[in-house]
Structure 1
Amino acid sequence: MDPPTTSWSIHTRPEITTKYEILNHIGSGSYADVYRGRSISDGTTVALKEVHDHQSASREIDALKILRGSENIIFMHEFFWREDEDAVIVLEFLRTDLAAVIRGAGNEGIDSGEVKGLMMQMVSGIHACHRNRIVHRDLKPENFLISDDGVVKLADFGQARILMESRFDASNHESSSQHPHDAFPLSDNLNQTEFENQEEEEKMSHDEYFRVLDELKIKSHTYDTDDKDTNTHEGNNSCLATCTSSDDDDDAWKNSLPYEGDEEGGNEEHGFLTSSVGTRWFRAPELLYGSTNYGLEVDLWSLGCVFAELLTLKPLFPGTGDIDQISRIISVLGNLDEEAWNGCSKLPDYGTISFTKVENPIGLEACMPNCLHDEVSLVKKLVCYDPARRVTAMELLHDKYFSEEPLPVSVSQLRVPPIARNEQD
């Protein structure tokens, strides 16, 4: 096995090699390499993600520690991190992802019950993030992994941010980021930082939900100063999360392109989030217009784009650049103005990006020609200009779309596409 060009240090670290047999290198990107490994103690197959960027490693570890135990979130067994070495995150090994399901659907498409079953699990994973005040910021089909038994799990938290929650200590966050541990095995009794009362959360109204988010965004600016842009990939990094795409797999690069990034850091020294996150095809309009004052709503837009792609087997807004991305959105949804979204004129780049007025936008129906009315309506609840109008993950879980025939199929009934490539056990 030839070593990858980016890193070979994982093979020289006894704290790792005494616990895991490194089988093969299965993917690489600009900030990480992923290896398939096997636990020496019990033979479990794992993915070892060696992250070369300090900030991405810190974000992923922090998010996965909080989300530990959530069924639809990828499971982190442990991580290794020394001052003089890259972080190595030990994850459960999952062979395929939603992008593979879409690619393998063929002309027949995907059964409606299966689509709903996949969607419900995706929403459950995002709900776990959002109820813990974690914004993922890079939702796309490649980051929804699927286990052999049909469980959908959200992965790749390298761009995730914790906005703020009652038990989150900013000083502890800073300390853990600056002083990594040699190794951190995760105990089973790690508590998730969820709402204090889940029943009260379920009763929260849509308006109250977004009022709380607005407060969190204001609070987060008091400490959120380390958010430099890390999404400078020159292609799709799905292999870093899924461990399913080989580093010479051309198909893995066709489904989405990275944004045309700003300089690293942006406004982060002033305590604001960066707008240069997410993969372009799934980026919310507020990000495309340079917003640094956003929250969980950007994930909801991305989710709507993923839903549309799952239903039509084609990307909803396949822009070739940021300007083209905005143009495609406007051609479908209509002009972005105060009538469509009260307050949009305050977006940082609103005055510098202008388009000819669209008199007759084609609408989402034209982009989803073979879809049922209820399917288009579901996407419309997410893909809308005003972030406050996007239906929340909590509301989606109770949406009538999922309680009407055909009902979502159970996990055991989901058909997981076979993976023949690079399977050398």
Structure 2
Amino acid sequence: MDHPPPSSHSKSWSIHTRPEIIAKYEIQERVGSGAYSDVYKARRLSDNLIVALKEIHDYQSAFREIEALQILQNCPNIIIMHEYFWREDEDAVLVLEFLRTDLAAVIKEGKKNGGAGVSVGEVKRWMVQILCGVDACHRNMIVHRDLKPGNLLISDDGFLKLADFGQARMLMEPEFVATDENPQPYGQNPVDQEQVVQPTVTVPQMDNCSQEAQGNQDQGVTRRDESFREISEFKAHDYLEETSIQDGDTSCLATGTASDIGDDILKGSYYYEVEEGGGDRHGLLTSCVGTRWFRAPELLYGSTDYGLEVDLWSLGCIFAELLTLEPLFPGTSDIDQLGRIINVLGNLTEEVWPGCLKLPDYGTISFAKIEKPISLEACLPNRSLDEISLVKKLVCYDPANRATAMELLHDEYFGKEPLPVPISELHVPLTNGGQDEDFPGGWYDYNDRESDSDFDDFGPMNVTTTSTGFSLQFS
């Protein structure tokens, strides 16, 4: 089935002119703005519920966010999409739950507490909530690709939720994910996050999260029916054979208004073009995703053949920042980002990452040999061996060696004293972690996607002509 591209008609670019929206919502103020979206705080007229209206100006980002949130709609640690509006000649508008603050604010406020930071019990509870959200994504074969503190939003009562799925990709049709080897998605088999994990036996559970999810249903959250996973147009056999997926113009016919997620214009139209030739057995993705500080080394080296593991690297960087209250690798450009990683982990070789020589830019960019890497231990001063071990299980070169979210949920770290505090005892900041304290970090559309080419800050550089172009060596 062919799907036409988005209409080239002029767009209103204004949520205020949409009669189907203003008939149901009172728009109060704009709370975030960026190149790809604008976010407004609004009141639902039917029950006075405060919501966020996210108007997305990029067609593909809108499609991806709607697709991911529909699949993850019953997951307690994923932001709720109540409904969405999408007409052929207009931008998509997503109606999301309004979450005032984020993990960036937790980190920012931790710095202000006279050096006390965030207590270990609170750190563990934030980590458990993040891991539950990422595990829900990965069980459904969804790679987020932009995990960072500002995209981990927090409700007033302490529930942390993954948000901003505009760069997310679905790597496999979800109907085939939940097998005997893969536990059911959280929507079908919720766990109780409040019970502390017993190492290698019990997953951290989430009683309160499940209760909150039920409470959201009572507030009028629209739910899709069970037939959602029966996607007739999806090329399931292509995914089962791991054939190529193109990260280009994913398209569907987007006409009408989907104000009830159960009656969905995207239903039956999960459609990805398979790469011409089909010789490569892995997905062809794009390397220019994610905010630089949390971007995995395979992305920085230009890989288009990666998987869920890029999220795991981001998790390691987030956890390190939560422990130290400082970013682990605050690179000023992609080259600087790589240099910082290599200075800490050491040189990237086949010994530490078999197959790294095949990375697209490995032969183009090289660094002087690091005799004594800084090490992650030095980057996490005054932290316990268990905390350092947790980060090291994620921040490692070889993606195959990174621990999965579910594996980490079983880590003995969460079963040791001090135990994760109850969600109700978490300290939730009154402000947010964005650049402007009036803008919640997750709503502020900061996308650091570009690759800098300013090499002046990196000291001596040798440029060598090669048969395929040139090579840069930094010393």
User: Structure 1 residues 342, 331: CA separation in 2 closer, same or farther (over 3 Å shift)?
Assistant: same
Q: 1:379 pairs with 382, 391, 395, which one?
A: 391
| Unaligned stretches of 5+ residues in structure 2 | 1-10, 177-219, 230-237, 252-273, 278-282, 440-475
> 1:116-150 deviations in whole A, cap 9, x for unaligned?
00000000000000000000000000000010000
Q: Is the 8 A contact 1:7 1:33 kept in 2?
A: no
- What is the match of residue 401 of structure 2? 389
Length, aligned pairs only: 345
- What is the match of residue 146 of structure 1? 154
Q: 2:324 pairs with 287, 312, 326, which one?
A: 312
User: What are the equivalent positions in structure 2 for 1:18-417 lying under 5 Å apart?
Assistant: 18-105=23-110, 106=112, 107-165=115-173, 167=175, 187-191=222-226, 219=242, 221-222=244-245, 225-226=248-249, 272-417=284-429
> 1:156-207 deviations in whole A, cap 9, x for unaligned?
0000000013538xxxxxxxxxxxxxxxx9742444989xxxxxxxxxxxxx
1:397, distance to aligned residue in structure 2 (A): 1.0
User: Partner letter of residue 249 of structure 2?
Assistant: D
SS in 2 for 1:295: coil
- What is the match of residue 269 of structure 2? none
> 1:306-350 deviations in whole A, cap 9, x for unaligned?
000000000000001001100000000000000110110010100
Q: Is the 8 A contact 2:13 2:91 kept in 1?
A: no
Q: 2: distance between equivalents of 1:309 and 1:23?
A: 34
Q: 1: distance between equivalents of 2:228 and 2:411?
A: 25
> 1:87-130 deviations in whole A, cap 9, x for unaligned?
00000000000000100112210000000000000000000000
> 1:211-264 deviations in whole A, cap 9, x for unaligned?
xxxx96962524654379xxxxxxxxxxxxxxxxxxxxxxxxxxxxxxxxxxxx
Q: 2: distance between equivalents of 1:216 and 1:396?
A: 27
- What is the match of residue 239 of structure 1? none
Q: Is the 8 A contact 1:130 1:296 kept in 2?
A: yes
Q: 2: distance between equivalents of 1:292 and 1:40?
A: 45
User: Partner letter of residue 274 of structure 1?
Assistant: T
Identity among equivalent positions (%) equals 67
Q: Please identify which structure carries the higher helix content.
A: 1
Q: Is the 8 A contact 2:245 2:285 kept in 1?
A: no
Q: 1: distance between equivalents of 2:312 and 2:36?
A: 26
Q: 2: distance between equivalents of 1:353 and 1:217?
A: 35
Q: 2: distance between equivalents of 1:268 and 1:314?
A: 41
User: Structure 1 residues 279, 123: CA separation in 2 closer, same or farther (over 3 Å shift)?
Assistant: same
Q: 2: distance between equivalents of 1:415 and 1:186?
A: 27
User: Structure 1 residues 118, 336: CA separation in 2 closer, same or farther (over 3 Å shift)?
Assistant: same
Q: Is the 8 A contact 2:152 2:162 kept in 1?
A: yes
User: Structure 1 residues 216, 370: CA separation in 2 closer, same or farther (over 3 Å shift)?
Assistant: farther
| Unaligned stretches of 5+ residues in structure 1 | 1-5, 169-184, 195-214, 229-266
User: Structure 1 residues 19, 193: CA separation in 2 closer, same or farther (over 3 Å shift)?
Assistant: closer
SS in 2 for 1:49: strand
Q: 1: distance between equivalents of 2:246 and 2:227?
A: 21
User: Partner letter of residue 25 of structure 2?
Assistant: Y
Q: Is the 8 A contact 1:309 1:315 kept in 2?
A: yes
User: Structure 1 residues 269, 153: CA separation in 2 closer, same or farther (over 3 Å shift)?
Assistant: farther
Q: Is the 8 A contact 1:164 1:220 kept in 2?
A: no
SS in 2 for 1:335: coil
1:370, distance to aligned residue in structure 2 (A): 1.8
User: Structure 1 residues 7, 317: CA separation in 2 closer, same or farther (over 3 Å shift)?
Assistant: farther
Q: 1:418 pairs with 418, 430, 446, which one?
A: 430
Q: Is the 8 A contact 1:227 1:274 kept in 2?
A: no
- What is the match of residue 9 of structure 1? 14
Q: 2: distance between equivalents of 1:218 and 1:350?
A: 28
Q: Is the 8 A contact 1:36 1:46 kept in 2?
A: yes
User: Structure 1 residues 80, 166: CA separation in 2 closer, same or farther (over 3 Å shift)?
Assistant: closer
Q: Is the 8 A contact 2:13 2:57 kept in 1?
A: no
Normalising to structure 2: TM-score of the pair? 0.69
Normalising to structure 1: TM-score of the pair? 0.77
- What is the match of residue 232 of structure 1? none
